[in-house]
Amino acid sequence: MTPDESHITNAILEIGKSVLRGDLSIEEFYERWPPETSEHVFFKKVYEDMEDAVEHFPANPLTGKPDQRWEKTQVYLLLYLDVLLLSQRKSADELLRCRDIVLRQEKLSTETIRQRVGECFGVSLNIQIE
């Protein structure tokens, strides 16, 4: 991974964690997104996933927090996959390859995503993303 890719990946990883928690408005998302990502297919896909998650975040009107169904949605699972991949500190090409492999899985869950990403990179992933 080049220093530029590392900087971009770190910035997007932090954005992704904020999106998972529901801490970003769509305006903040657009402001924080690094513009130099437009040439990488992986980053384009992540952008689309995160934008979709911000736009459709299912917050409880009283608490502003997600309801319990959020973590079971396809939007959340794609976002979770993106954030987990970004945390692996690999090149955009490697991350895209792994993302494509994981998305071939018929039924996704956070557990199967961790398992498949671990298989892609030959590691055991027992981490929780917060």
Q: How far apart are CA 4 and CA 1, in angstroms?
A: 8
| 113 lies in some domain | yes
Decide if 126 is inside a domain. no
Residue 38 above 80 pLDDT? Answer: no
What angle in degrees, to the nearest 10, is found between the helix axes of 74-86 and 3-21? 150
Chain length of the chain:
130
Distance of CA 94 to the CA centre of its chain: 15
DSSP state of 66: B
In a domain, 108, yes or no: yes
In the block, tokens 């904020």 appear at 18
Per residue in 78-99, pLDDT tens?
A: 999 999 999 998 999 999 999 9
Its pTM stands at 0.88
Asked if the structure places residue 127 within a domain, the reply is no
pLDDT tens column, 54-69: 988 776 666 666 777 7
In a domain, 90, yes or no: yes
| Average pLDDT over all residues of the chain | 86
